Amino acid sequence: MRRLLLLRHAKATPSTGHDDYERALVERGRRDAAAIGAFVAEAGMIPDLVIFSGALRARETAAIVMKAWPLRIEARAELSLYNATRAGVLAVVRALPDTAPSVLLVGHNPGLADLADDLVGGGAESEIARMAGKFPTSGLAALEFDVQRWRDVAPGSARLVRFATPDDVSAASV
């Protein structure tokens, strides 16, 4: 079995049309990323590997999420995740090392949300509909695949285990 956590980067400064790559997180984004990181730990879903886009907002999101975990996890940038289409994100997934059965990808919409929608073939219908309706900043889709190798991940082959947003996890911790 393989588990893929797809996390959209946290809320960042507004786009001004230039230097999009260096947009930093705003305070709300930092809080949301910390909440999602704590949720991942509490849910027992800490991955073996973290891969993030090279964009500043994705790097910051990954760093904040991982601070909430009791273990140090290998993390690295994958520059092709920035502005990646659904097919581009899928190519990254299929190239993941098989030695890491559970991976967190921190990336961007629309590619991330499009891939999540494309991969899901099962799970709670209400969660699938909610994810398809809106994949907000700091939104997290936890997908499980009954495959031995990452290269075998295909459209419709995942079960959506959980779709969580900062609002969900903040409300659950109150």
Residue 79: how many other CB atoms lie within 10 Å: 10
The pLDDT, as a whole number, for residue 171 is: 56
Pairing state of beta strands 158-164 and 120-123? parallel
Q: Are 10 and 29 in contact (CB under 8 A)?
A: yes
Task: Give the per-residue pLDDT at 172.
Answer: 55
pTM equals 0.96
pLDDT score for 174: 35
Secondary structure of the chain in HEC code, one letter for each residue: CEEEEEEECCCECCCCCCCHHHCCECHHHHHHHHHHHHHHHHCCCCCCEEEECCCHHHHHHHHHHHHCCCCCCEEEECHHHCCCCHHHHHHHHHCCCCCCCEEEEEECCCHHHHHHHHHEEEECHHHHHHHHHCCCCCCEEEEEECCCCHHHCCCCCEEEEEEECHHHHHHHCC
At 19 the pLDDT is: 80
- Name which of 136, 141, 166, 135 is nearest 30 in CA terms: 166
Residue type, 158: A
Tell which CATH classification among 3.30.2010.10, 3.40.50.1240, 3.90.870.30, 3.40.50.2000 matches the domain 2-8+23-172: 3.40.50.1240
- Strand-pairing partners, residue 25, are 12
Give me the residues of the chain with pLDDT under 50, please. Answer: 173-174
In this prediction, residue 106 carries a pLDDT of 98
